[in-house]
Amino acid sequence: MQYEKIEVGKRKKIALVAHDGRKKDLLEWASYNEETLRQHVLFATGTTGAIISRELGLDIKSFRSGPLGGDMQIGARIVEGDIDFLVFFWDPLQPQPHDPDVKALLRIAVLRNIPTACNRATADFMISSPLMSGEYERLVVDYGSRIKRPS
């Protein structure tokens, strides 16, 4: 299997996303980890970014709201290598009108080997990892090399 090596610097590029029923949870998590988050570059979907920025004063590059394309914008930034880390508190009990976008975002995060936290416990483990403060070499499977092309 072939891999692409992606260099991840000390300053991580972190995307923050939360469904409506989980925004309070993400805000509480971000508040608890505020000093650590200040050391990194933050991105978020529209409403989530506005709430965290307003409440904590964190500098966040916000995209559109998730249902209006924000999930896809973050997915595109992952593909381009502009996001290293995804914290996505999604609501497993509430159907989402943009569920295909949610699944596409999670799929691209897995394909690009992006550390992804979908709940507070995982986010706690990830942000407290010694890997958060240092450089890291992320390996991404070169799926293109696995595709058989017609001769």
Would you state the structure tokens that stand for residue 122, as one six-digit string? 């995982």
Mean pLDDT across 105-128: 95
Domain-wise residue ranges, the chain: 3-141
Compute and round to an integer the Cα radius of gyration of the chain: 16
**Percent of the residues in the chain that have a pLDDT greater than 90, as a whole number:** 75
Active-site residue list: 71
Say whether pLDDT at 39 is over 80.
yes
Q: Say yes or no to pLDDT of 48 above 80.
A: yes
Q: What is the average pLDDT across 28-47?
A: 96
The whole-number pLDDT of residue 146 equals 64
In degrees, rounded to 5, the angle at the alpha carbon of residue 115 between the alpha carbons of residues 111 and 121 is 135
- Tens-digit pLDDT profile for residues 64-85: 988 788 899 999 999 999 999 9
Please give the pLDDT value at position 67.
Answer: 79
> What residues contact residue 41 under an 8 Å CB cut-off, 6+ apart?
11, 12, 13, 14, 61
Report the CATH fold assignment for 3-141: Rossmann fold (3.40.50)
Q: Name the pTM for this structure.
A: 0.90
- pLDDT (average), residues 102-130: 95
Structure tokens at 95: 């159907």
Average pLDDT, the chain: 91
Please classify residue 60 by burial: count the beta carbons closer than 10 Å to its beta carbon, then call 0-12 exposed, 13-18 middle and 19+ buried. Answer: buried
- The full 3-state SS of 83-130, as one line of letters, equals CCEEEEECCCCCCCCCHHHHHHHHHHHHHCCCCEECCHHHHHHHHCCH
pLDDT at 95 exceeding the cut of 90: no
42 pLDDT higher than 80 = yes
